[in-house]
Amino acid sequence: MSVHPGDLESLAASSLSALLDRAATRWPEARALIGEQRTWTWAELNREVDEVACLFEACGIRPGDPVGFLLSKRPEVVIGFLACARMGAIQVPVNFKLHPDQVSDQFTTAHLRAVVTEQSQEALLKHLLPLLPDPRQIISVDAPGRHAGTIWSTHARYSGRRTGFVSTPDTVCYYNYTSGSTGRPKGASTTSRNIIANGVATSVGLGFETEDVYMGMFSVFAHPHELFHRSLLTGGAFVVVDSLNPRMVADAINAHGVTWMMAVPSFYEMLLDFLDGNDLTLPSLRVLEAGGAYVSPETHERMERRFKARFLPVWGCTEASGVGLGMLDDSPRRAGSTGKAIPGYAIRIVDETGVDVPPGAAGELWIKGPSVISHYVNMPAETAAQFKDGWYATSDLVRQDEDGFVYFTGRRSEMLKIGGIRVFPLEIEQVIQQHPEVRDVVVVRAEERLRGEIPRAIITTWPGSTLTVRSLQAYCRDRMALYKVPRIVEFWAEIPKLPNGKIDKRAVVAAPLNPARDDRRPKLE
């Protein structure tokens, strides 16, 4: 059964630690955390979180201390997150796939006091040691590291007297860093109230049920609270798998009866290819939640037909503590739309002066609600630029129809001005994506001396494609204004992606312009 909307107010007055106690009391023997080698019940998870909180305190970690988690996607991420919340420390997921200088910047802005890590991160950790005030406050999971002062073993038991710290809904428990896809990563200072309000709103609004078994496929440092926060409210199980290998993921879904997944659309495409190639099905799945990219109506239909599950496009962001827009459980489908504001969120669509635009007009999406954070960590200028009287200015450009359905049009920073006319890359991408030989596409800004800004299309094609630059441009001319047709078309073997599955547009833009580029073999001309 679904979470009752009336629970919102009472649960919002809780902390993550109190919700874990509640889950352990209500569903002590039910499955909670499912890893690759072990399954925890809610009672076992609660007990282990308490023990790890004692371990952290014995290591000198105190309430208010930011603790970096330099870990792969493993159950200890969840256990450690909840242990920090219980004893008042602040969990800080570290994006170890960034350049070391960007990781150093995260260590510096977060003022990290301690680090939880593993052997695979030894080389990066060595580079970061000078940034820690006390190098002894390094906790290594399962095996001793060269720099670790303490070993946290999942096979050991820990005890001790904790300080008796009691967290409140407004205790900061988490610095959730943005992906850095459009600039310097920023740490969203996040409270239990923010996380719980998002969990309740999305459970109620999207139809998450107590029986759902959840598996989130985003990277471990991209919203790690979304691995568990809805399940913590409903008592359902959640699965942690550190792989994007379609076979391993399919095996985990079938082994644990996963009913609800969250991933980027490109991952579902990859999983679908695997299923088709191996004549397999995933009968337990009922919802495929898809965030991070635009989903065409054609893709939407194909996914539902093949998976025999509800395909659920959503929009979310770090600053809103997760998903803020989606096709609500009781809403009809609206082709091309991301859905409506989820209950608990308010949105505005505004022009460049902050004035609301009429239905149908494009403008910047602003969002507000108890899940929206108040500031970035130690970044006052960035905070002032993005937060306005409780509203977060997302920099995402959208339009909203008369019925409240929202349609994504692009990012403000990506807008092109071609011959004085505003063009959003997504307009062009949506047309090109409909070509039957196109697998993936991204359109970015390029410059010509005479024309100024022009669209540059980077394309990957399906095997066996005979698509050429001329035929692609002819296809576009039949379907869009001439000035929108990409002047430059490049065929790449792969389009670079960020760890969260989104296209890495900074990497695309940084790649040297090459109108003759065609990475396909044999080259098609």
Residue 261: strand, helix, or coil = strand
CA distance 52 to 45: 10
Stretch among 21-25, 105-109, 445-449 having the lowest mean pLDDT? 445-449
By residue range, what is the domain housing residue 181? 7-196
Number of domain units in the chain: 2
Mean pLDDT of 16-24: 95
Alpha helices in 112-236 (DSSP H): 122-128, 192-206, 229-234
Q: CB–CB of 94/45 below 8 Å?
A: no
CA distance 403 to 228: 32
Compute CA 309 distance to the chain's CA centroid, rounded to the nearest angstrom: 21
Mean pLDDT of 216-237: 93
Whether residue 522 has pLDDT greater than 80: no
pLDDT tens figures, 336-349: 888 999 988 999 99
Residue 5: strand, helix, or coil = coil
The reply to whether 516 falls in a domain is no
CA distance 198 to 497: 27
Mean pLDDT of 182-191: 85
The reply to whether 127 falls in a domain is yes
Whether residue 195 has pLDDT greater than 60: yes
Residue 172: strand, helix, or coil = strand
Query: Strand 31-34 and strand 238-239: pairing?
Result: parallel
pLDDT band at residue 219, thresholds of 50, 70 and 90?
confident
CA distance 52 to 189: 23
The reply to whether 337 falls in a domain is no
Of 137, 163, 196, which residue constitutes the final position of a domain?
196
Residue 253: strand, helix, or coil = helix
Kindly report the number of other CB atoms within 10 A of residue 52's CB atom: 23
pLDDT tens figures, 257-308: 999 999 988 888 889 889 988 888 999 999 999 987 677 777 788 888 889 9
pLDDT tens figures, 455-512: 999 999 998 899 999 999 999 999 988 889 999 999 999 998 876 677 888 888 889 9
Tell me which range, 239-243, 271-275, 331-335, is most confidently predicted by mean pLDDT: 239-243
pLDDT tens figures, 142-161: 877 777 678 887 666 776 66
The reply to whether 313 falls in a domain is no
Give the position of tokens 């539902």. 304
The reply to whether 110 falls in a domain is yes
Residue 476 tokens read as 């576009």
**Which has more pLDDT, 461 or 410?**
461
Query: Given CA atoms 402, 407, 411, 417 in this order, what sign does their dihedral have?
Result: negative
The reply to whether 278 falls in a domain is no
**CATH number, domain with residue 440:** 3.30.300.30
The reply to whether 30 falls in a domain is yes
The reply to whether 211 falls in a domain is no
**CATH number, domain with residue 26:** 3.40.50.980
State the pLDDT at residue 419: 67
Of 196, 223, 248, which residue constitutes the final position of a domain?
196
Q: CB–CB of 354/381 below 8 Å?
A: no
pLDDT tens figures, 104-139: 999 999 999 999 999 899 889 888 988 988 767 899
What are phi and psi for residue 192, nearest 5 degrees?
A: -55, -40
Whether residue 525 has pLDDT greater than 50: no
Give the position of tokens 């025999």. 308
Of 126, 161, 196, which residue constitutes the final position of a domain?
196
